[in-house]
Amino acid sequence: MADAQEQIRQTVESNDVVLYMKGTKTMPQCGFSSRVAGVLNFMGVEYSDINVLDDEEIRQGIKDFSDWPTIPQLYVKGEFVGGCDIITEMTLSGELDQLFENKGVTYDKAAADKIREANA
């Protein structure tokens, strides 16, 4: 498990945005992963997707790494942001936009606004 922890640490530190999810960004395999990947994809965010279903050590390791029991998990610039509910709330409130701006992550502001308009 120490190897998994080191692999996770290296992944989150070497990529600006990382989503640990069930499935991939093009083929999510659970509704929660699909929602977060859908938001990131729609907003045009470049991110690394790590399919936890491919590796049981990574699947458990990410939960231990973040001390967060569920997947998906979003990391921005090495920092754990949250899971599906938190990302949804942050998207709708505009906090995710602020986080991306503060961290220098490129995203489509008009797309983010469209998400909020559709959910108003």
pLDDT per position as a tens digit, 56-80:
999 999 999 999 999 999 999 999 9
Query: Could you give the number of structural domains in the chain?
Result: 1
Domain that holds residue 37: 2-118
- Position 37 scores a pLDDT of 98
Judge whether 9 and 65 are in contact, CB under 8 Å.
yes
For 19, phi and psi rounded to 5 degrees?
Answer: -120, 115
What are the structure tokens assigned to 59, written together?
């699947």
> Stretch 42-61: mean pLDDT, rounded?
97
> Is the pLDDT score of 102 beyond 70?
yes
CATH of the domain at 53: 3.40.30.10
- Position 2 scores a pLDDT of 72
**pTM of the model as a whole:** 0.95
* CA atoms of 91 and 67, how far apart (whole Å): 23
